[in-house]
Chains A and B, each alone.
Chain A
Amino acid sequence: MKKVFERPKSMFSVPTHYCPGCGHGIVHRLLAEVIDEFGIRERVVGVAPVGCSVFLYNYINCDMYEAAHGRAPAIATGCKRVHPDLIIFTYQGDGDLASIGTAEIIHAANRGENITVLFLNNAVYGMTGGQMAPTTILGQKTTTSPFGRAPKREGYPIRIAEMLATLEGATYIARVSVHSPRAIIAAKRALKKAFEIQINGLGFSLVEFLSPCPTGWGMSSTEATKWVEEKMIPTFPLGEFKVPKSEKSLK
């Protein structure tokens, strides 16, 4: 019988520590599939963040760094400058990338560092217990915005993809979601493109994933996927915000 579904080779055969309904596992799997499909596992280096996905290295089988909060793009820069032939990705959450690490991500993008960034946006600080994130949407209640995020008090959710797309150094910037099978297929396409851009030496690529966090949001898994669709996407529209000048430069 033909095998139609199996664990990607770049993934360790272990259960993850993520909560039921969390999007991290999906994004991990997409990452592993893309690494396998390009056949690059032996020259891939990952940089894991501080946050729920700090243990990324327990699931993806490649050389990896564990970064300090927000600093993954700087570490990736240091590694890439030493080994330009390696394929380097960072995996960062919204607190990590869009709050404490804004300087690092903006300047890595602006330098056009030839790295790929996986940015998981779930509108909340997951690991520390559901505090407000820079991407928490207006009205959203968290453990540190108990009255709902109000612009006068907590400011606005930050749209990283749109912001980074304004930088000349960035080559490919896209926002996708993992709340439905259809969205996941599109997400993989974007991630594959992002890696392809790095493999071809075309510069900085980033894919923002909208991802459910049922625990942090105090919802069931089903409610959470619905919340992504109905609440998050209107604030964070999906799409490609920056593509290489010549799409033909891709294979």
Chain B
Amino acid sequence: MGEKVLITGNEAIGEAAIRAGCRFFFGYPITPQNKIPEYLSYRLPQVGGCFLQAESEIAAIYMVFGAAGAGARVLTSSSGPGISLKQEGISYISAAELPCVIVNVMRGGPGLGGILPSQSDYFQATKGGGHGDYHLLVLAPSTVQEAVNLVMDAFDLADKYRNPVIVLADGYIGQMMEPVEFKEKPPKVLPAKDWAVTGARNRQRNLVKSLYLDPEELEQHNLKLHRKYLEMAENEVRVETYLTGDADIIIAAYGTVARIAKTAIKILREKGIKVGMVRPITLFPFPYETFAKISEKVDDILVVEMSLGQMIEDVKLGVCGRANVHFYGRVGGMVPTYDEIVVQIEEIVKAEVT
């Protein structure tokens, strides 16, 4: 490879999954991610894989449970309302420690909401979403190329931790066309799936389960899962810092909003206001440490989201009162413009002076 192709984010996500060795997709149509199942419905048979349109989001996630439990690399994708329906299964998959990749191309909510880009599912993705004490590894791309890279990494991370990984993209990432390169990755050495359900031939039988009626046993299981999340926090945090070296003010943003913020930063710097950006790429584990360090150097951090303030809670945990945390958000499918962000920063500067 090494050749660039112009492709929508949704199709690129589908192709990236195939390049990562995923041969199974189970899903249900929902806007704005339909190009993922449509693409895979003809691509997967070409590579000897299986595409199945399930009767519901609920059935789809349990087909994922079955395929992941059988040892396969498996993908499902959806958008907010569909991801809500999948939550029961995501909880079971997390409990049974099955690796899989879930893509959420976020649209505006709550309820049926709308079909335009949003970041309103941050809480759902990063704080559990379903019942019980568990976490997903959450990756947030800000370009189509990054979506490709993260989807490919997601399968390795899922296998490494035996944990579902969710790629949290917004409708822009899914529907926008950008030039993309599918880079061959050297295969990772990953733990063998000797726990998978494959038929008990010449071995003890395997069991994929999540019920522990003995409270001591369940506590041990919870602690085991928790150790995994601590290990993720230790090893998997990814964050981009942009012009933070000399910055007086920091913008915190992820996904599409981070791209808009970069334009705002350029304009502000031309006006002599030194602004930088911290862009979390992993939303769980969250780069608390980066925010802790940066909050010792600046007085003000502006969080910009396509929500009414979700990631801001994690930013505040990282900052821990050492800097002022401001917020600007647009919702419902409305997207903050760079001009709006410029105005927000200028107001912060004005307030500091007066």
Check B52 against A65 for contact (C-beta < 8 Å).
no
A82: contacting residue among B67, B92, B200, CB under 8 A: B67
Cβ–Cβ < 8 Å partners of B59 in chain A: 71, 74, 77, 103-104, 107
Check A76 against B66 for contact (C-beta < 8 Å).
yes
Check A63 against B205 for contact (C-beta < 8 Å).
yes
Cβ–Cβ < 8 Å partners of A103 in chain B: 55-56, 58-59
Cα of A171 to Cα of B198 in the assembled complex, Å: 25
Q: Say if the beta carbon of B188 comes within 8 Å of chain A.
A: no
Cβ–Cβ < 8 Å partners of A66 in chain B: 96, 207-211
Cα of A68 to Cα of B90 in the assembled complex, Å: 11
> Chain B 86-125, CB within 8 Å of chain A: the 1/0 string?
0011001000100000000000000000000000000000
Q: Say if the beta carbon of B265 comes within 8 Å of chain A.
A: no
Cβ–Cβ < 8 Å partners of B52 in chain A: 77, 81
Chain A's closest residue to B74 (CB) is A78
Closest CB-CB distance, A17 to chain B, in whole Å? 11
Q: Say if the beta carbon of B24 comes within 8 Å of chain A.
A: yes
B197: contacting residue among A65, A67, A77, A104, CB under 8 A: A65
Check B197 against A42 for contact (C-beta < 8 Å).
no
B72: contacting residue among A45, A63, A82, CB under 8 A: A82
Cα of A45 to Cα of B60 in the assembled complex, Å: 20
Q: Which of B32-64 contact A (CB under 8 A)?
A: 50, 52, 54-56, 58-60, 62-64
Closest CB-CB distance, B244 to chain A, in whole Å? 45
Cα of A106 to Cα of B56 in the assembled complex, Å: 12
Closest CB-CB distance, A86 to chain B, in whole Å? 5
Closest CB-CB distance, A243 to chain B, in whole Å? 25
Cβ–Cβ < 8 Å partners of A78 in chain B: 24, 26, 62-70, 74
Check A82 against B71 for contact (C-beta < 8 Å).
yes
Cβ–Cβ < 8 Å partners of B211 in chain A: 54, 66
Cα of A81 to Cα of B64 in the assembled complex, Å: 11
> Chain A 42-85, CB within 8 Å of chain B: the 1/0 string?
11110100000010010001111111100100111111111100
Chain B's interface size range is: 35 or more
CB contact under 8 A between A71 and B200, given known A63-B207, A78-B26, A104-B62: no
Q: Which of B190-216 contact A (CB under 8 A)?
A: 197-202, 205-211
Cβ–Cβ < 8 Å partners of B55 in chain A: 103-104, 106-107
Closest CB-CB distance, B74 to chain A, in whole Å? 7
Q: Say if the beta carbon of A41 comes within 8 Å of chain B.
A: yes
Closest CB-CB distance, B130 to chain A, in whole Å? 11
CB contact under 8 A between A81 and B205, given known A45-B199, A66-B211: no
Q: How many A-B residue pairs have CB under 8 A?
A: 122
Cβ–Cβ < 8 Å partners of A45 in chain B: 70, 197, 199
Chain B's closest residue to A43 (CB) is B199
Check B74 against A83 for contact (C-beta < 8 Å).
no
> Chain A 5-49, CB within 8 Å of chain B: the 1/0 string?
000000000000000000000000000000000000111110100
Cβ–Cβ < 8 Å partners of A42 in chain B: 199-202
Q: Which of B104-159 contact A (CB under 8 A)?
A: none
Closest CB-CB distance, B199 to chain A, in whole Å? 4
CB contact under 8 A between A86 and B205, given known A78-B62, A78-B67: no
Q: Which of B6-44 contact A (CB under 8 A)?
A: 24, 26
Closest CB-CB distance, B276 to chain A, in whole Å? 46
Closest CB-CB distance, B70 to chain A, in whole Å? 4
Cβ–Cβ < 8 Å partners of B72 in chain A: 82
Q: Which of B202-242 contact A (CB under 8 A)?
A: 202, 205-211
Cβ–Cβ < 8 Å partners of B64 in chain A: 78
Closest CB-CB distance, B145 to chain A, in whole Å? 30
Chain B's closest residue to A83 (CB) is B70
Check A57 against B199 for contact (C-beta < 8 Å).
no
Cα of A43 to Cα of B205 in the assembled complex, Å: 11
Cα of A122 to Cα of B90 in the assembled complex, Å: 31
Check B209 against A77 for contact (C-beta < 8 Å).
no
Check B24 against A81 for contact (C-beta < 8 Å).
yes
Closest CB-CB distance, A154 to chain B, in whole Å? 25
Q: Give 17 pairs: A residue, B residue, CB < 8 Å, sorted on A.
A: A45-B197, A63-B206, A64-B207, A65-B209, A66-B208, A74-B54, A74-B62, A74-B63, A74-B66, A75-B63, A76-B66, A78-B65, A78-B67, A82-B72, A83-B70, A106-B55, A107-B59
Sort A-B residue pairs by CB-CB distance and give the 10 closest, nearest first: A78-B66, A74-B62, A66-B209, A107-B55, A78-B63, A75-B66, A78-B67, A82-B70, A71-B62, A79-B66
5 further A-B pairs in the complex, CB-CB below 8 A; given A78-B69, A107-B59:
A63-B197, A74-B60, A77-B59, A81-B66, A82-B72
